[in-house]
Structure 1
Amino acid sequence: MLRPLLPLLMLSALAQADEPLRIERLQRCEDLLSERQVFCAGTRGLAAGEVKVLLGGKALPASALRRDGDRLRLDLDARPSAPLWIEQGERRSNPVWLSMAGSHVLAAKPNEVAKNMDGLTTYVDLVSLIIEERFDGRKEAERLAQKYGAKVVGAIAPLNTYQLRLPAADLVQRDALVLRLGSEVSVDAVVVEESAAESSEAGAATEQKPDKDEWAANRFLDAVNYYQRRVPAKQAPIQATPIRIGIIERDVDFDAADFSSYLAPCDPQRRTCLYARDADKPDGHGSTVAGILAASWNQGGNTGFLSGLDGASRGFEVIVERNSDAGITANVAASVNLVEDGARVINWSWGIHRVGAKNVDGDEVDSLIRSGLAMGGYEELLEEFFLWLRKEHPDVVVVNSAGNGSSFSSTDEYRLPSSFVTDQLLVIGGHQRSERDDVAVDDPAYVVKRASSNVDMRVDITAAACTHASTLRADEVGEVHCGTSYATPMVSGVVAAMLSLNPSLAPAQLRMLLRRSAMTIGGNYDFEPMDADDLTAPILPSERNYELRNKDVGRSARLDMQKALDLAVQSRDRVR
């Protein structure tokens, strides 16, 4: 009776062996506070038999690995953060960044969330405490947990922030405990998590999605050509510096032609390398954001800016990392880990609005909104993050999307994180090509403001908001996606390239060079723009060699990738 089944079983095993090998999940599990870190990896395509797990190119010992079907458990002692991948026979998985930095938080399960009075999904029994800096955060969190019958389950230790699981069965009990915890002398703020933050920041579906070459408005190809020629120039060649970039996104589809080349071994000292969990579709938010930086040339329908610099650069490491599904708290935890792992640039293509935020027309913003309770906690958490950056990592720059609510980016009661005023945060708006074909690329009329893009003085610069999504088939052009989410990595890529040319540039100097090199968009309003037409902070005379009558003064700033790189080269001697 069993004999007829044998051919079917053999065919099934062969089919599994031919299936691509992928890592779809990787995050801390079990005790998140233990010094010995345990990671759980969820895989696809793992066949029966021996599996090799490599961290930083070195195979982990069998004693550190335990397998349960498609799930791998990795028990690691202290070691450096590094890319991790698995091999089985001739097959090799996508590389994923494994951070040993230690900041991790738990995400709520479906039965651990509820709808609040604003109709938003919120965590019932998981909150985070920001402990006053004069206290030992771990000890104080443990004391408070014991006092209130809670348990410490996660931590962002550099920010003195600890996650507690409360003895709460509903929101009434949770809010009562939050009120009591918030009144403790040692507690700076309580962070209440509301729904996930991975929602796309793309513009409204009714907005026009142009099919022209949007990146020409930022001199994308000119910048690639300049870098490729200037770095190895015979006269005064430049020794480029490897740069690490952190992208706060969920995953990337390595089955897409744009990313399939990253399945092969990659030397980060010689070319662009990409590390990410594998996605199940090529046109997701993470794939599109990462593709603007790292899509392979001559593979799919896209061309990544940093991958276009291969051969001249000393390499870029693009790390797509999200920590867990715990919303904004996880975004911050992942950012802390990436900074501690050496990332100089952090890309935040996300943001949130407070319930009741108004757009430029006076209507309420209806996407990516959070309650006042949640916004208060997030604001304190982000403030701690930027204070920590300023103190411990002053050379790191965060590049953040302005948002797509047709609203304002600068008021902290309405929008986070873009409202923070710090040299280490660049805020990016979005533009698209105008209908005019009779003007030069540097003419302000070459582009128009994206109707959905958030605006005002806090926006530092705009970039092309529309790009093509990746596809599974090679050389196929994907659907157009638009939003400030996609303008942001354009600037992140340029900033990373500038740092590779001059790693001594500080965040304030990077902003200065981006603004000095910028082209313009919009009219000249003599510093008093009307009807929310101030897409960015107006260009000042000091940003145009103090020429009071310069035609750019008073206009909004638009990214010029080629000129920004040129100024970065000049800064090697002039800006210190």
Structure 2
Amino acid sequence: MTSLPHSPPRPSPRSFWLPLLLTGLGSVFGANAEEGLRIERLQRCGDLLEREHQDFCLGAAGLAEGEFEVLLNERELPPAQVHREGSGLRLGLQASRLRSGPLRLRQGGRESNPVWLSLNDSQVLAAKPDEVAKNMDGLTTYVDLVSVLIEEDHAGLDEAKRLADKYAAKVVGAIPALNLYQLRLPAKTLVERDALVLRLGSEVSVDAVVVEESAPEKGEEGEAGEKPEKPEKPSGDEWAANRFMDAVNYYRRRIPAKPSPIQTTPLRIGVIERDVDFDSADFADYLGPCRPERAGTCLYARDAAKPDTHGSTVAGILAAKWDAGGNTGFLSGLDGAGPGFEVIVERNSDAGITANVAASVNLVEDGVRVLNWSWGIHRVGAKNVEGDEVDSLVRSGIAMGGYEELLEEFFLWLRREHPDVVVVNSAGNGSSFSGQDEYRLPSSFITEQLLVVGGHQRSERDGVAVDDPAYAVKRETSNIDMRVDITASACTRASTLKPGERGAVHCGTSYATPMVTGIVAAMLSINPKLQPEQLRMLLRRSAMTIGEEYDFEPVQGDDLTAPIIPSERNYDLKNKDIGRSARLDMQKALDLAVQSRDRVR
């Protein structure tokens, strides 16, 4: 047990006399005892390049005076490795003696939320508010932090240090797997930074320079058009368009079926988001220890301040507990029949796209099989289907060039080192084109390991069967084109604090994406030998249709996805689905995954 000095509680409304009455009764009866024990922040600090001795800075709310425990993989860290720094903790860990895993706090009868602590090497710094400026496009950009992609025939760290010495810079972060190193430049203005970027980019050993454009600290990661809206249809009706409940029922009945039960495989899912509100009724049950082989679904995340955040809504579609109001998680609906799913919500730091990639590399190295990327960016000047400029989540040409090279290196690394990992990415909400790299990243990449998801919503037509193409329609803001693999329901309900309370409706391709992530994870739990190209094939073979038939002509505003082709319908040239867009059918996808066990060995 570790004992630390009293940590001041977060302020909350009180009457005048109550604090006076409680003064002197000790923190056990004070505000810390009333509020939950929550981990709000955990990230590498100190020297990010140090591999053996790694420091982590932890920010917690509700940590009272007296003894407490810090548990990593359910083993208490020795008190000598836990140090108080102001209102937070600093953990000093020997990486070679430990392994990545869930970390949590315990004090008295209170349990914190578990967060994922990765001991891998990919760590980058975010800029502070005084380290950013507005560029000529009016976008927030980092002044003195940039990243260099080193050519693969060079020793990355050695070359990064050489460049740092040459330009009076310092190496402060890295994604070693991609040969990327983050430099702090001796620049005070954007003019000075841009001059150094040009000189760095001209170095023979440098493949590209990544300039980060995002807000300092907590920046944007959501999609345009995803603010709460008045529901046009109940969320259950929205999800019926993908046979959500049919899929849950099928899995629960088919997997343990006595005549021929199916042996399933545990799975880890990575969700690149910031945090989740564990005060919400959807997630309160995840406080404390969680063993996937017993509990079914485990959720690891930092705690959010409110329940309707982007991360809570995305993670909730995968892991929210049932019958609590708010959201309903697909994977948590499989508890009791499933093998155990670990949902890891992680974002490394607030350093924008670079941090998203760093977190993804760490998670893949920690055994994640499916990554959920409910984010993306458009290039300044990108046009929507109406010919108007996209005005949200845009980045300058210089930033997009660096991001494109960074993401290309990531997918090349993934193909080379982890060919069985699949990334599920939102198509975007700019009413634009998802597959053109001058318009959008990362959805424009052509690789079997990237599934791109568009969004649909329930049509106003009643009395049509769920498999009728008219049952759902393209969501007006959803990006489209041949690069989109499949569409899923774009609308869901946000989490709430009170059990049984109905959350606001949130819509966007960010929320269609975890629908596909969830079903892909379930399919892999049934047949872990399925490869990314086979998963895409099964999703499209099982898909229902949406939209008009467009006979493989150039993409128009009504065309949602790549058209269904004869090989996806048993080469039946007269099949009515051919030429239409693909709409997720979760139940049939699971059925095909079961059938694939006899074909994929």
Instruction: Give TM-score scaled by structure 2 length.
Output: 0.94
**d(CA) in 1 for partners of 2:552, 2:284:** 48
Q: Is the contact made by 1:256 and 1:300 (CA closer than 8 Å) also made in structure 2?
A: no
Q: Is 2:65 the partner of 1:28?
A: no
Mapping for residues 221-232 of structure 1, pairs under 5 Å: 221-232=245-256
Instruction: Note if 1:43 corresponds to 2:47.
Output: no
Name the residue aligned to 1:559.
584
Question: Would the alpha carbon gap of residues 200 and 209 (structure 1) be closer, same or farther in structure 2, given more than 3 Å must change?
Answer: farther
Give the alignment partner of residue 257 of structure 2, picking from 196, 214, 233: 233
| Deviation, structure 1 residue 51 | 1.9
1:205 to partner: Cα distance: 6.0
Trace 1:179-328 onto structure 2 (pairs within 5 A).
179-196=198-215, 198-203=220-225, 209-212=231-234, 213-270=237-294, 271-328=296-353
The 1-side partners of 2:27 and 2:102 are apart by 31
Q: How does 1:115-130 map to 2 (within 5 A)?
A: 115-130=134-149
Deviates more, 1:243-252 or 1:264-273: 264-273
Give 2:11's aligned residue: none
Alpha-carbon contact 2:114-2:289 (below 8 Å) kept: no
**What amino acid is aligned across from residue 94 of structure 1 in structure 2?**
N
C-alpha displacement at 1:209, in angstroms? 4.0
Deviation at 1:68, TM superposition (A): 2.7
- Deviation string 1:35-91 (CA, Å, 9 cap, x unpaired) is 211100000001011221000000000111001343010000021100000011111
1:127–1:190 contact (8 Å) kept in structure 2: yes
Helix, strand or coil: the match of 1:565?
helix
Question: How far apart are 1:528 and its partner, in Å?
Answer: 1.4
Aligned to 2:190: 171
Give ranges in structure 1 of 5+ residues lacking alignment.
none
What displacement does 1:533 show?
Answer: 1.7
Distance 1:51 1:543, change over 3 A: same
The equivalent residue for 2:539 is: 514
Q: Which moved more, 1:335-344 or 1:14-23?
A: 14-23
Match of 2:461 among 426, 436, 440: 436
Give the Cα separation in 2 of the matches to 1:468 and 1:5: 41
Aligned residue in 2 for 1:343: 368
Bigger Cα displacement from structure 2, 376-385 vs 197-206: 197-206
Larger deviation: 101-110 or 197-206? Answer: 197-206
What are the within-5 Å matches in structure 2 for residues 404-419 of structure 1?
404-419=429-444
| TM-score normalised by structure 1 residue count | 0.98
What letter is aligned with 2:398? L
Secondary structure of the 2:241 match is helix
Distance 1:146 1:229 in 2: 63
Say if 1:211 and 1:480, in contact at 8 Å, map to a contact too. Answer: no
Q: CA deviation at 1:200?
A: 1.9
How far does residue 302 in structure 1 lie from its aligned partner after superposition? 2.3
Q: CA deviation at 1:531?
A: 3.1
TM-superposed CA distance for 1:269, in Å, is 1.7
Report whether the alignment pairs 1:57 with 2:74.
Answer: yes
1:111 aligns with 2:130: yes
Q: 2:90 — aligned with what?
A: 73
Give the direction of change, closer, same or farther, for the CA distance of 1:508–1:7 in structure 2 (3 Å limit).
Answer: closer
Query: What RMSD, in angstroms, separates the aligned Cα atoms of the two structures?
Result: 1.4
- Shift of the alpha carbon at 1:18? 2.2
Q: Does the 8 Å CA contact 2:226/2:506 hold for their aligned counterparts? A: no
Q: How does 1:519-530 map to 2 (within 5 A)?
A: 519-528=544-553
Equivalent-residue separation in structure 1 for 2:193 and 2:42 (angstroms): 30
2:132 is matched by which residue type in structure 1? V
The Cα shift of 1:9 comes to 3.5
Contact 2:104–2:288, Cα closer than 8 Å, also in 1: no
Map 1:126-137 → 2, pairs under 5 A: 126-137=145-156
C-alpha separation between the residues in 1 aligned to 2:228 and 2:156? 48
User: Matched residue of 1:10: which SS?
Assistant: coil
Q: Verify the 8 A CA contact 2:427 2:454 in the aligned structure 1.
A: yes
Shift in Å at residue 303 of structure 1? Answer: 1.4
Deviation at 1:10, TM superposition (A): 2.2
What percentage of residue pairs aligned between the two structures are identical? 76
Distance change >3 Å, CA 534–CA 26, structure 1 → 2: same
- What letter corresponds to residue 455 of structure 2 in structure 1? G
Taking structure 1 as reference, are residues 82 and 115 closer, same or farther at Cα in structure 2, changes over 3 Å only?
same
Please say if residues 228 and 504 of structure 2, whose CA atoms lie closer than 8 Å, have aligned partners that are also in contact: no
Q: 1:294 to 1:202 in 2, by over 3 A?
A: farther
Q: Residues 508-556 of structure 1, C-alpha deviation per residue, up to 9 Å, x if partnerless?
A: 0000000000000001111116632220000000000000110000000
Q: d(CA) in 1 for partners of 2:403 and 2:394?
A: 12
User: Which residue identity lines up with residue 528 of structure 1 in the other structure?
Assistant: E
Note if 1:8 corresponds to 2:23: yes
Give yes or no for contact 2:490–2:508 (8 Å, CA) kept in 1: yes
Match of 1:84 among 86, 99, 103: 103
**Partner Cα distance (2:44, 2:24) in 1:** 35
Q: Tell me how far 1:208 sits from its aligned partner.
A: 6.8
Which shifted more, 189-198 or 288-297? 189-198
Does the 8 Å contact 2:233/2:458 carry over to 1?
no
The Cα shift of 1:298 comes to 2.0
- Secondary structure in 2 matching 1:84: strand
CA contact 1:210–1:466 (8 Å) conserved in 2: no
SS at match of 1:218: coil
SS across alignment from 1:511: helix
